[in-house]
Amino acid sequence: MRHLLLALPFALLPLVAAQAHEHDHDEHAHDSLGAHEHGVASLNVALDGNLLELQLESPAMNLVGFEHAAKSEADKAKVAATKRELEQPIGLFALASGDCETREVELESPLFGDADHEHEHEHEHEHEHEHEHHEHEGEHSDIQAFYRFECASSAKLQQLDLSELFKRFPATEKIQVQLIGPNGQQGMQLTPAQPRLSF
């Protein structure tokens, strides 16, 4: 990954995950987003001084409600609305307490881009989704969002609150979070009932 802050420290996190869940790498891979499990997203968080980086990865189904290329006006409107929401991350992650300003936003998904390419795989995607779900995750549409913030009052940033994200995207049932902050590394699963993670 091209973002240094996330690339270096998160290389160590499979060890943390293995310790936390006592799973081997195969089991961890099954639990991770690599399995493209609907309802489940992953979030990497790195807080270093005043710099906060977040990397969210989710099946498009969780955020948009479908994974096919947007052809109808209703589908296109839904994709556009989801993209607008993801482009306003301060509210989604409740970062106001840290006096954070968004410095960088990167959104990536087949749904946001090359519709012709997505169309080529649509029928195959529908078939694979039903019969060989885990073996062909490349046929599924994911949404990836990367955010970089500068937080003037990072010491006041006590927690990450994903309540608003769960509220706006109710198909998201749980988010696997891996965090590196002032107190070291930690991992946990957040849900609508337990949406907060302390730094």
Q: Which pair of structure tokens corresponds to residue 87? A: 């482009």
Q: Which pair of structure tokens corresponds to residue 160? A: 């990450």
Residue 97: predicted pLDDT: 80
Q: For the chain, what percent of residues have pLDDT higher than 90? A: 54
Domain ranges of the chain: 4-198
Q: For the chain, what percent of residues have pLDDT higher than 70? A: 69
Residue 180's H or E segment, with its range, is strand 174-181
Helical H runs in the chain? 4-7, 13-21, 25-31, 60-63, 73-86, 89-92, 115-120, 122-131, 163-168
Residue 106: predicted pLDDT: 97
Residue 5: predicted pLDDT: 52
pTM of the predicted model as reported, rounded to 2 decimal places: 0.73
How far apart (Å, rounded) are the C-alpha atoms in residues 49 and 134? 39
Q: For the chain, which ranges sit under pLDDT 70?
A: 1-36, 114-139
How far apart (Å, rounded) are the C-alpha atoms in residues 118 and 125? 9
Chain segment 22-34, per-residue pLDDT in tens: 434 343 333 444 4
Residue 83: predicted pLDDT: 97
